[in-house]
Amino acid sequence: MPRPNLYIGVTGTNTDVGKTYVGSRLLRSLKQKGLSVSARKPAQSYDKGDRQLLDSQVLAAETEEDHLTVCSQSNTFEIALAPFMAKKELYGTELMLKEISDVIFNSQADVGLLEGAGGVLSPFCRDADFIDLMELQKVDIVLCVADATLGSLNAILTNYFGFKYQTEKRNCVNLKKAEFIVFLNRFDEDLRLHQLNYDWLKNNFEQAVYNDIDELSEYVADLANKNKSY
């Protein structure tokens, strides 16, 4: 199966931290740097009364792919529940890992983005969470999107150490080599709390932390270009 030169799994500390927003902005910035980009949302659910664009449509607008390529119609559910719950509620059948793992990527873009639902440990299918899917897909970077507000430090640390513990426990050979990066979404440099949280993470957290899309994009583009040269 063709695979992106650099593969990013996008997760978050919660369901409303802006994974799709951050992912789409990152894809746009990378594309402006001359890199080819692709995105996949293996499964998604939404409130049919909500007039906002689907996550797959937002991502497809940046990659110039058909949104049904980003996420298939069969894995798009018109009810605001976790995808595996949504399929069970609507159709009485279970969403299984095999249904989403076989249709992830079919193009060798410079950068591929795989967006999950919820956090790294959020159940994605009846038989898998996002860690299982990222391990199967051999992602190179785990990008964790978080707020910079009160409580964000605990949320970030809980996600990170939960990720580390589970990858060791499950012996995830591929994810043990992946880089874990935190992006603080909705960061406001004029808010003292945001700056203090950012400074604490930069000084105490053992992984890279960004609060600016352009800076993150520069780093990702550099890695992608290095991978192209191999």
**Cβ within 8 Å of residue 225, ≥6 positions away:** 35, 110
- Domain boundaries along the sequence of the chain: 6-42+108-229
Instruction: Give the tokens for residue 173.
Output: 């050979």
Instruction: Determine the pLDDT at residue 15.
Output: 83
33 is catalytic: no
**Cβ density class 31-41: b for 16+ within 10 Å, e for less:** bebebbbbbbb
3-state SS assignment for residue 117:
coil
Q: What's the pLDDT tens digit per position in 201-220?
A: 999 998 999 999 999 999 99
pTM of the model: 0.95
Q: What's the pLDDT tens digit per position in 60-106?
A: 999 999 999 999 999 999 999 999 999 999 999 989 988 887 666 66
Q: How far apart are the C-alpha atoms of 201 and 104, rounded to whole Å?
A: 33
Let me know: does 180 contact 142? Beta carbons within 8 Å. yes
Q: How far apart are the C-alpha atoms of 73 and 113, rounded to whole Å?
A: 19
Instruction: Determine the pLDDT at residue 54.
Output: 95
Under CATH, which number does the domain 6-42+108-229 receive?
A: 3.40.50.300
**For the chain, which ranges sit under pLDDT 70?**
1, 102-107, 229-230
Instruction: Determine the pLDDT at residue 174.
Output: 95
Catalytic position from the list 19, 31, 33, 41: 41
| CA-wise closest residue to 43 among 119, 114, 149, 127 | 114
Instruction: Determine the pLDDT at residue 103.
Output: 61
Q: How far apart are the C-alpha atoms of 54 and 52, rounded to whole Å?
A: 6
